[in-house]
Amino acid sequence: MGKKGGLNFFGAENRECCMGFLKGTKVLIGPSTFGLQDQTPLKCLRDAGCEVVENPYKRRLAKEELLELLADDVTSLIAGLETIDREVLEKTNLKVISRCGAGIENIDLEAAIQLGIKVCYTPLGPTTAVAELTIAALLNLLRSVHIMNGELHQGKWTKITGNQLEGKTVAIIGFGRIGKRVASLLKAFNVNIMAVDCNAQEHIEGVQACSIKEALEKADIITLHASGCDQIIGSEEFKLMKKGVFLLNSSRGGVVDEESLIEALESKKVAGVWLDTFTAEPYTGRLQDYPQALLTPHVGSYTVEGRQKMEMDAVNNLIDAFKESYDRARY
């Protein structure tokens, strides 16, 4: 698997070299929003000699569209959340996939390794953006801001008594970069923090490592930041939770069973939920009918600063991968 961070190959000492080994390389840009905030990543690719093929559909590419755009002379892909399975990898001539994002669940890594395709990703860029949005969504849920805003826009002067964050017990399920950043931000609110997946050897002041069962039973607020798409929260897990719990998910849609969540909302087991990711996107499901469900269209990383870092990291990772191959061939 490729390097995680971004290494800058665009200094004066590297530009001439890049122009040599990347000249004529065709790069498909999968994410429809790539370069919208800042054209620098695209300019860097072109300055390095690459021919950039942009997404003409201006949305997430379907598998057939991806195959169509990955013509026989396209050897590299800056990927979003497109499905990149074995069929896609075997039918194309890809050498490098540089994922613009923190997760790589949409890529068949086993097939990529077997086919000698380099895979890179950018886990650092989204960290602060996702963590800050999580805190914003949590405060919104606790005070029903989105509901009162909607009421007032309809001319209704509705006051809802909410909850304070101070003194609450917050369980963070998935304690990687984003989970740790959320914990850091939460400390300012004087809350009790529990963490699942916390390394047993790792002591973080103010954070109690615990099992998922203990977290579900004791938490007033549960926020999900786990990697992977496997279900974590289903009907049995909801039964363990306190009545009136708040649930937040910015990891992957599949980690929460939607039908069980709807039942929990209707029974008031869950007082409010924020979801930024869904099994099928764009989302058109039943949760749109529940005002206590705060829904956002997978925008956790969508800050100017977060996107700039992710996109530059993706470009630098792609060039790094080709440079490594070039150096191996030379020496």
Contact 63, 40 (CB under 8 A): no
Residue with the two structure tokens 């499901």? 285
Handedness of CA 185, 187, 189, 194 (dihedral sign): positive
Phi, psi (deg, nearest 5) at residue 275: -125, 130
Give the catalytic positions in this structure: 252, 281, 298
Alpha-carbon distance of 137 to 135, in angstroms, equals: 5
Alpha-carbon distance of 331 to 318, in angstroms, equals: 20
- One-letter amino acid at 210 equals C
Contact 92, 70 (CB under 8 A): yes
E strand or H helix that includes residue 119: strand 118-120
Contact 170, 216 (CB under 8 A): no
Number of Cβ within 10 Å of residue 224's Cβ equals 23
**What 3-state DSSP class applies to 40?**
helix
DSSP bridge pairs for 208: 194
Contact 63, 43 (CB under 8 A): no
> Rounded to 10 degrees, what is the CA torsion of 229, 230, 233, 234?
120
Alpha-carbon distance of 111 to 84, in angstroms, equals: 10
**What 3-state DSSP class applies to 270?**
strand
> Rounded to 10 degrees, what is the CA torsion of 141, 178, 109, 23?
110
Length of the chain as a residue count:
331
